[in-house]
Structure 1
Amino acid sequence: SGILAPDARVELIEGEIVDMPPIGAPHASAVNRLHQQLLDAVHGQVIVRGQSPVRLDSRNEPEPDIALVRNRSGHYRDCHPGPADVLLLVEVADSSLRYDRDVKMALYARFGIPETWLVNLADATLTAFRAPGPQGYAMAERLRMDSPIPVPGLDGLSVDLADLF
């Protein structure tokens, strides 16, 4: 028998097992709608993963709400995607906003994730973090939800998130 229950919601951050809050209905709905929008937009050019691990290194294996990763034969059957595989990570936040913004965005930047979206359910906004570096993302842009948002790494493709909130 393991230390954790089979249904435990945890992720590995900085070598520590971190409890994740339960997924509420608004969070699940936003994640599912955004996941479907991205699936529709990318037309199989990349893999859209939902709430699955990304292995940044041996001490960090977060589970972003959505990850757009490069196509790979076997769809990462033998290993989780790493930083070089990731085009976009998405975190949808309600009760986890501060943690996602302060801890996870810094972590993703440090590992060179090119773009991360933070969806804030409380104020119905999406902030795109770009230009990663060791001290965090150099750019944070609050995106307008009334116009299509370009999908990073896929020229000419965008998603319409007007009905996300």
Structure 2
Amino acid sequence: MEMNFPSDPPQPFRLRIEDYELLDRSGVFEGQRVELIDGVIIAVNAELLPHTRVKNELMFRLRLALGAMGLTLETLVEPTLALPPGNMPQPDVVVAQVPRVRDYLRVENLAIVIEVGASTLRSDLGVKKALYALHAVPEYWVVDVEARRLHQFWAPDDGQYVQSLTTALASELRSATVAGLVIDGNGIL
């Protein structure tokens, strides 16, 4: 008896947010840091001190600037974003309108999403940038720890960011989409 096998290579099974939540609630990820990106569970690396310092400095400086401006936007560290159908990234920092509900942040809550790239720079400027543009996140920042630069992207259109700017971290860091939001980049690293 001759067996006929499909000629296409096997494809991964892509999880939806609902599938990921079931696994999480069952304890499968206990003690691990993971994200759901394009339906695939991705392990998140441990952080070295420069990454942690940059993340915390950005959160602190953005929080002070937003408070001084009297805006209702908040800064959060490592929130889970729900980007249906199969994405639950945990960016390093976000600037967002944070609803008082028991839920994840949604794209409509977001003003700025920030990733700090040391070992993850390639992914942050590739897969993550494409993901955030596809979901129309208004502004996306990637801090390049090694090169001491900030890459900014905004004006998402048809799954790509139309506008971008690269700035030295030793200068003023100005949001392209939140009017008047400026922080000093000196000493972040």
| TM-score, L = length of structure 1 | 0.90
Q: Distance in 2 between matches of 1:111 and 1:13?
A: 13
In structure 2, stretches of 5+ residues that fail to align are: 1-24
Of 80, 86, 93, the residue aligned with 1:66 is: 93
Which residue is 2:146 aligned to? 122
Q: Distance in 1 between matches of 2:144 and 2:43?
A: 20
Describe the SS at the equivalent of 2:143: strand
Do the aligned partners of 2:73 and 2:98 also contact (CA within 8 Å) in 1?
A: yes
Describe the SS at the equivalent of 1:128: strand
Do the aligned partners of 2:98 and 2:105 also contact (CA within 8 Å) in 1?
A: no
1:96 maps onto 2:123 in alignment: no
Instruction: Give, in angstroms, the shift of residue 113 of structure 1.
Output: 0.4
| TM-score, L = length of structure 2 | 0.79
Task: Give per-residue Cα distances to partners, 1:28-50, cap 9 Å, x unaligned.
Answer: 01101111001111116212110
Do the aligned partners of 1:87 and 1:152 also contact (CA within 8 Å) in 2?
A: no
Which residue is 1:113 aligned to? 137
In structure 1, stretches of 5+ residues that fail to align are: none
Q: Matched residues, percent identical?
A: 27
Q: Distance in 2 between matches of 1:128 and 1:88?
A: 10
Amino acid at match of 1:68: V
Aligned pair in 2 of structure 1 residues 5, 82: CA closer, same or farther (>3 Å)?
closer
Instruction: Give, in angstroms, the shift of residue 3 of structure 1.
Output: 6.0
Do the aligned partners of 1:64 and 1:89 also contact (CA within 8 Å) in 2?
A: yes
Which residue is 2:56 aligned to? 32
1:23 maps onto 2:47 in alignment: yes
Q: Distance in 1 between matches of 2:104 and 2:27?
A: 22
Q: Distance in 2 between matches of 1:38 and 1:126?
A: 14
Which residue is 2:9 aligned to? none
Instruction: Give, in angstroms, the shift of residue 81 of structure 1.
Output: 1.2
Task: Give per-residue Cα distances to partners, 1:102-140, cap 9 Å, x unaligned.
Answer: 100000000000110000001100010111123421222
Q: Distance in 2 between matches of 1:17 and 1:136?
A: 24
Q: Distance in 2 between matches of 1:100 and 1:85?
A: 21
Q: Distance in 1 between matches of 2:145 and 2:33?
A: 20
Amino acid at match of 1:46: L
Which deviates the most, 4-13 or 81-90?
4-13
Instruction: Give, in angstroms, the shift of residue 160 of structure 1.
Output: 0.8
The equivalences for 1:50-89 within 5 A come to 50-72=77-99, 74=100, 77-89=101-113
Q: How many residues align structurally?
A: 162
